[in-house]
Structure 1
Amino acid sequence: MTRTDLTAALDIGGTKIAAALVDREGRVVLRARRPTPAGQDGERVVGAVHAALGELAARPEWERVGALGIGSAGPVDASAGTVSPVNIPGWRDFPLVERVREVVGARPVRLIGDGVAVAAAEHWQGAARGYDDALCMVVSTGVGGGLVLGGRLHAGPSGNAGHIGHISVDFDGELCPCGGRGCVERIASGPHIASRALARGWRPGPDGDTSAAAVAASARAGDPVAGAAFVRAGRALAAGIAATATLTEVRIAVIGGGVAAAGEVLFDPLRRALDEYATLAFVRGLTVVPARTGADAGLIGAAAAVLRG
């Protein structure tokens, strides 16, 4: 009988499609990657998915694969097996699960949102390990998240539970593409941190870099406008985390993604604001820490969703 000790994993985002084989200890054994042709039609995008999976399927280790886990930019609809990523316009209600079966055949497939995948990874191998109740977040081009409740991944019926980026923290704030106003994502994502700083008078250095990372570097150097943009982002994240903790009693919030790489420029104002927002006895003392699983979080989490439920 053929061993099925490996799980295939897909991490699908607006810039890259990553595929991997992951063992039962959470180690990536093989990997493949393709750029996401996000501006092209849906068939071109699924073609890139097939190419990444096909590269792995051509290897002898593929015979040991028992299932496929997919963490995708969303929204996703796990019950229907479809995806409609905001940053991949060619996919609207796209039947992703059906189409990946062209490569994986009859193997079981589980689809979850990319934030849920990060939560699965951090609970299995990262900073939320040992916690029964956790919120794990990705703060990058967007803001996503996932929940672990009662020691188990809580993806929700559609696979999107824990999507903290679309909690409103400013009812009179900017209109969000989701239809809400003042969403966490409209304040704390990398592009919005940078645009806020630019609008308030911050200017990039000689290299012209206007990314959130450049704003963070200026904040560390003492630029007050850059620092204020991160303080505002930290407050938005703190408000969303406090609201989530009040509803779910999570004991830890784990934050990863490119914006989290700013370090204490982000985490210091976030923790100070959280002390103001999380004042009820059952949410005080909430731990906030950086993620540990790094760039492989989506792949490890997609595998974990299959292996650990």
Structure 2
Amino acid sequence: MEPANNSEPPYERQLKLVPAKKKSFWSKNKHGILFASPWILGLLIFYAIPLFSSIYFSFTTYSILQPGEFVGLQNYKDLFTDSLFWKSVYNTVYFAVFFVPLSIIFGVALAMMLNMNVKGMGIYRTIFFLPTLVPHVALAVLWMWLLNPGFGLVNGLLSTIGIDGPAWLGSVTWSKPSLIMMSLWGIGQAVIIYLAGLGDIPEDYYDAAKVDGANWYQKMRHITLPLLTPVIFFNLVMGIIAAFQQFTLPYTLTQGQGTPANSLSFYVMYLYDNGFKFFKMGYASAMAWILFVIIMALTALVFITSKRWVHYQGK
């Protein structure tokens, strides 16, 4: 038999014989967990706990001042027989159905105009973005003056061309269209996103289309809009979520009353009134979860249909 090879130093042979200790999950990640702990605690305390608590409260008569009793699905049953609840649903859906498509149409049109190579375009972009910096309360006060049926600027301009302007915010017919018009005045943030999407479209496509003799409409239809659909998709989802959570403008305009004839009583306004005016927090929690289900269903529908109309570069 050949003698064992003992030419290796003793400490190397010892290292080979002793297996390395595996580090625990905590020892590997403790520094990252410690740095992320403020965010984790904030997520648990301010989001997770209230979220799961609201699920339980929606099945109770909890009123902030009293713990309430467990009533099962009674809050949901009462909501479906509440006429003001259905009125608020109608007003919110009306606003979303008209505002979201109009915001996309006007947003894309404005972005395309602001994307032209014109001298002083930075000034024009700033002017269109400024309304988004105005607080919603100040915005509501401004438009209350503009749409005043007696001395408002809008009716004054209409009278110069022989048209008697409506009562706007004082009319059941015109109150929601007035609110849609106010909201469209502040779409500058969406326009900036569309401008970023337009800047991401390569010029090579337009050069090739120009060589083929395409006019501006053909370029817009076959190049700009298809390659802008990812941005339109994003703004569509965000617009639906924002439209169903409309609160500040109608609440300020009507001082929380939803007048005239509850035509400006929106879903989140009624939810707020139940929770913090009438202290029916269990009822309000049920409303919140119905709204969550509606928004999630609409968002899922948009995501499912997006495979047919959203086009990404290189695909």
Q: TM-score range by the shorter chain?
A: under 0.3
Answer 1 or 2: which has greater strand percent. Answer: 1
- The structure in which a higher percent of residues are helix is 2
Structure with max Cα Rg: 2
Q: Which has the higher contact order (CA 8 A, sep 6+)?
A: 2
